[in-house]
Each structure stands twice: as C-alpha cells, then as structure tokens.
Amino acid sequence: MQNTAAPINTIDVQCIWGSAKIDICEYDSKEAIINAFIEEMTLDEKIGQMTQSVWHNSVSPEIIQDRKIGSIIHTEGPTPGPKVSDWVTTFDTFQTHALKTRLGIPLLIAVDAIHGQNTFEGAVIFPHNLGMGATRNYDLIRRAAEITAIETAGTGFNWTFSPVIAMPEHEHWGRVYEGFSEDANVTTKALIASIQGHQGADLAQRDTIAATAKHYLGDGATQGGIEGGNAIIDEQTLRERFLPPYQAAVDQGIASIMVGFNSVNGTNMHQNEYLVQDVLKGQLGFDGVVVTDWLGGTRWGEPYTVINAGIDIAMQPANHDEFMAKLKATVLDGTVSMARIDDAVRRILGLKFDLGLFKDPFVKKELSALVGSTQHREVARQAVRESLVLLKSEANVLPLKSTDKIAVIGKHANNSGLQSGGWSIHWQGQNHSYAGATTILDGIHGFAPEAQYYPTGCTEDMQASKVVAVVGELPYAEFKGDSTNLNLTETQNKMLSQCKNLGKQVIVVLISGRAMTVTDTIEQSDAFIAAWLPGSEGAGLADFLFGANGFKPLGKLPTSWPDQYEDLPLAPDAKNALYPIGFGLNEY
C-alpha cells in the first residue's frame, strides 16, 4: 500500500508495531496513515472506535479486545485500588488488550478530572472553577491545569472531560460551580489558560493530556436553571455570547468538545445537527472529537440521530453492545452514511496520533510519583487564598493574629469532604474527609495552635473573642444540586445568632458552589468571606484569615451576588444585586 497523500506532519513512530495489516513506516504523514487505517478497517472496528464504555461496569480487558472498543472512562464506582500503582497496572492492562486487536489501535482512557485528579484519593484537588474564576489569575489557572494533567496522566489517563466553560445564569443550577464565571470575557480567558495547561504546546508531550470543552451549548442558560433543561437563545445572542468561548477553544486546538444534556430552542444538543455539524464543525472549524455525555448515544432515541447530528464518540457505560448493534444496522440500511462514520473515525484516530499513543500508549510512570506532591499542593494552596472574596470586613476583625483568642465553629471547618463539594473523590462528593487533604481547621491551627474547635456553635463559657464560623452547603453535583433553596440551614443560622448574642466578633466563611441568599447573615457578621469550594488545601484559607506574609485579599466575584431570592435570576449588570460581579474588598 503506497502513500500518495501530501505530508501534513512527520510521524515519529516505531516501525515494529502491533499492527498485522498496516506498516506505518510506509507513510510520511498523519493523514496518510489514518487513511490507510480507515481503508483497512471493518465496520465493526470503526463502530468500536466510536464507542466508549466504563472499565468497571462488567467490562473486562478481554471484552475491550473482543468488541474492539476504542475508549474507556473511569467514574463513580469501584476504583482500581488505593495506590497509584494499582491504577497504573489496571489501565495498562486494558491498553495491552486493546493493542492485541487485529489493528492494534490504542485506547483513549478518560476521566472527569475537573478540579484536579479528583477521582483519586490522595491527589491534589483545586478549588472548583467558580473559585478559580474569582482569582482572575490566568497564569495560576494554567498552572493548575498543568498539575491536573500531570496527576491525571500519572494515574493512568490520557483524556479529561474538562474544562467546563458554561456561563451560569441561574444560581438554582446544580452546576454553577463548574463554570468559571457568568462573564464571557472571564470565561474565555480562563478556558484558554486551562487548555494551555492541560494540552501544553504539543499533546504528544509526556505530561499533557487531551482536554474537553463542555457542555456545548448553553448548558448554564436553561430556563429556571434546570439541569438538562431548555435554553431559549436567539441567533444574535448565540453569536455574540455563547459561541465566542467555543471559537476560542477551537482556536487553541482543544482536542474534544462534549455536548450537553440540555436543549437549545427545543432541540436536544445530542441531536442538534445545526449546532454540532453545521456551526461547530462547519462554521467554527472544529476538527477534533465531539463526544456525548453519559449514555448520550441512546438517551434520546436511536443512535443514528446522534451520529447524524455530528457526534463522533458515544459514552455508553452500561449498554455499549446495544449502541453498537443499533448503529451498525443503520449504517447497513443507509440511514447513517459511511462518510459520516469515516469522518468520526478519522477524528478519533487523529486524536490518538496527536497524543502519541501509537508510539507510547502506556501510563507515564515517572509522573506517578508527583501525584499529591508537596509542590503541587503549594500551588493549590495559593489558588485557595487568591480565590476567596472578601465581601465585608469591619471593626478590625481581620486579619487574625496568632495571639487572638480564636474559636472555630461549624462542621465544614474540620471536614475536607464538605469543603471540596461535588466531583471530589465521588461523583456527588462526600460528607467526610479524604486522604492527603488539609482541613480549614488544620490550617488555622498552623497559625494559632490554641484555637478551640466547637463543631456545633458557641458556648457561654467560651473564652474566645473572635469566632471563625465555617458554614455552607453540603456537596452535590449535576441535577442533584438543582435547588430553589439558597439559604443556610436553620441550625447554621441559629449557631451564628448565638455567637453574636454572646458578644463575639464573627467571621463567616461560606462554603458554597454558588452565590447564596444570605443577606441577613452578611449583615450580622463582622466579616464575610465567599470561599466557594476550596478543595484539598484548607491551609490556603488560613493564609487569608491571618494575612500570611503580608497577603491582601485578591478575589473578585465571578457572578453577581443576590440580595433576595425573588431577584433571581440576576442580569450581569443588575442594579438590584447585593454585590455586582467583580466586587471584592482589597483591604481587610
């Protein structure tokens, strides 16, 4: 088989390689090699490349080999084990079996590493994107993504479903914290930094992974802030607000884009041929991989409707056989054209070549030693202190001094699970601490070892004059976080009132995935800090409270902050906001 195509780029691969049919050393370009594969592949092999399953959902390495499945995902469920080496061994085993298929095509191995490698207990977990957006420090966002890429690659993955670039318009939405900001300019700058951090200058570098912009399109703008709801977007708004961040992602060479559960103007994004095939791939010029969300290839009907809309990979964790059989039938009867199948496979193989998987498909073990490292935690600690937004500070209550008589109250203060929110170790997060993390109380004790901890509130015999009250939401993710209740609990409110009634100065630290309707709490506090979901490095919050090394507050609101629930949703320039987007005190 001779190559007649003009070279696109030189392919640096081993000539002795696991393919029985394709001698890649006969070809001098990526395009030529991909064309040779497509010419050789059977329909089953092509559909296998378009299918993603979950490695622990009754899917063994042998099934991957037998079904010729092209990618797997790790998500909620069993883990390979407690040690990094367990994960490396597991995913290298899957990769080995993929290479034993007739054509030896390597696997894409994906994970939702959306604020660090948040599925591995012991990895560094950064503030969620809303907090990172509050930093307005785009170099820091890039560095956080670089570290995420290293720790994600070091635990066995070559693809992450991140960054989320939604621009949340409703605080009711359970995914507000996954977006950087409601502002398109902030969002665009942050996503560019994130893509550069994850993907580096060259995806084939050993410390980079493929990134995914999601969820295309309008996921943060659904009516009522309902996860998977309908967003009504006119053409002008589509062009001026929603497409520019995705155009920026395409211009940055984003490897993949995930479509959302939501609909736009009544058409679900998984079946929206106009927005996926015509706009994203056609007008925006995206030449990477479009992937469904969970079960997206069958959730809204027959697979052909999704594939014909322009989707390249279907995430089918529980029913890959059903998806593959139904798609094959519609190719054979002409409902789905072979040209559409070949376009999808060409994009998938292109990503695998760009990642260098045909040359070196296995886990980059030298990166495994860096997972959870001290140097990575220091960057996350910096991200925490720069993400915090000081909304109120009176009576010289801040910064704290090590000599102050300090009490710390609230269960959120001594629980790394509560301070990290959803997508932390588990999909919905967890209500208990996890390995490797530093709680907020741990951090405070680093400055004031004598600070007392009262998880349920102030007491009359308490000697402390200053109280750090850490309160907020319990962890949630996706639709389980959709809520019309954006208040503190009655127990938390009573706890704060009790402390004030005892004459204490009260510093409120709010742990939340969104702005909340807590005007009364802000009014009765002496200082109020929007802490978002800081992740594993609670010491960063202590740095902020104590003004460590001359630190001054830096964080700025990534969204407008409501006064009353009835005011929601707030427009970005709303005059009735308690605090406008961009607000944040720079002095204690």
Q: What DSSP string describes 164-183?
A: B------TTSTTGGGSS-SS
What are the residues whose beta carbons fall under 8 Å from the beta carbon of 473, sequence distance 6 or more? 421, 511, 512, 513, 516
74: helix, strand or coil: strand
Catalytic sites, residue numbers = 293, 478
Identify the DSSP state of 386: H
Other beta carbons within 10 angstroms of residue 20's beta carbon come to: 10
363: helix, strand or coil: coil
CA distance 544 to 135: 13
Pairing of β 389-393 and β 527-532: antiparallel
C-alpha separations of 63 from 60, 68, 320 in Å: 5, 8, 11
Length of the chain measured in residues: 588
CA distance 489 to 477: 19
> Do residues 50 and 70 make contact, with C-beta atoms less than 8 angstroms apart?
yes
Alpha helix positions (H), 20-137: 30-40, 43-49, 61-67, 84-98, 129-135
